[in-house]
Amino acid sequence: MNREVLCREDERIDDLQRNGYQIIQKKKGFCFGMDAVLLSGFARVREGENALDLGTGTGIIPILLEAKTEGQHFTGLEIQEEMAEMAGRSVALNGLESRVEIVRGDIKEASRLFGKASFDVVTSNPPYMNDSHGLKNPDLPKAIARHEVLCTLEDVVREASLLLKPGGRFYMVHRPHRLAEIITVLKEHKLEPKRMKLVHPFADKDANMVLLEAVRGGRSMMKVEAPVIVYREPGVYTEEIYTIYGY
């Protein structure tokens, strides 16, 4: 049940098309994108499981996972004070305080903050660009979300591995051009890639995102699933995307 929650002049409330949930976002600033929604559709949180989202931003992933899965509890970790506070207001807006918690903290310290082997599932939509790829956005919150300013891919993977129980699952969305590096880093930290799905903007275009599931201590065998095609034609989503969004 949505409640009266403070929404500031520079913010807006958007409908998430799931369970009547809404989310607070900046009118001008970092907003969640297709990658977060796709990750929430790819990740699996089973009944009774606890999940943690590293670098949760607006809180979109824990809120959507609460709506879409049978998980018991969902936590979002966010280093930026303003973003974490805004995400907390979105949780309250939807009356989810007993199921979703937003914690302010550094991904690099996550295993110390929560304790090792404390989650069944860890998700992350981390910064895609390292120092050699892409221009840093002059807007700091956007730069932090998109570039490895405050944490690296290795930081995210290392902490995910430490946070997961044996057999726990890590879900991540990233860019295909870093796939070889991603798989190497996952395996170095005892996270075995098990499922992969490429995302293409159009059927005849190269993939621009990759969704990955890795299991802590899993055996070596990976399934490459059918790709996701985002648009049937310019401005028109495919049926799969409408289903993931919940339209």
* CA–centroid distance for 35 within its chain: 8
Structure tokens, 81: 């004070």
* Per-residue pLDDT at 210: 97
Confidence of residue 246 (pLDDT cuts 50, 70, 90): confident
Residue 5 lies in a domain: no
Residue 73 lies in a domain: yes
Residue 142 lies in a domain: yes
Helix %, strand %, coil % of the chain (to 5): 30, 30, 40
Residue 4 lies in a domain: no
- pTM here is 0.89
pLDDT tens figures, 161-198: 999 999 999 999 999 999 999 999 999 999 999 999 99
Distance (Å, rounded) from C-alpha 139 to C-alpha 124?
Answer: 21
Distance (Å, rounded) from C-alpha 72 to C-alpha 93?
Answer: 19
**Total domain count for the chain?**
1
Whether the predicted pLDDT of 107 surpasses 80 = yes
> What's the angle, vertex CA 45, arms to CA 63 and CA 34, rounded to 5?
50
What's the CATH code of the domain at 77? 3.40.50.150
Residue 137 lies in a domain: yes
pLDDT tens figures, 133-159: 444 445 545 444 444 556 899 999 999
Distance (Å, rounded) from C-alpha 166 to C-alpha 158?
Answer: 14
Residue 2 lies in a domain: no
Which of 128, 150, 154, 129 is closest to 141 using CA atoms? 150
Could you list the residue range(s) of the whole structural domain that residue 105 is in?
Answer: 11-245
Residue 18 lies in a domain: yes
Residue 3 lies in a domain: no
Structure tokens, 208: 């621009």
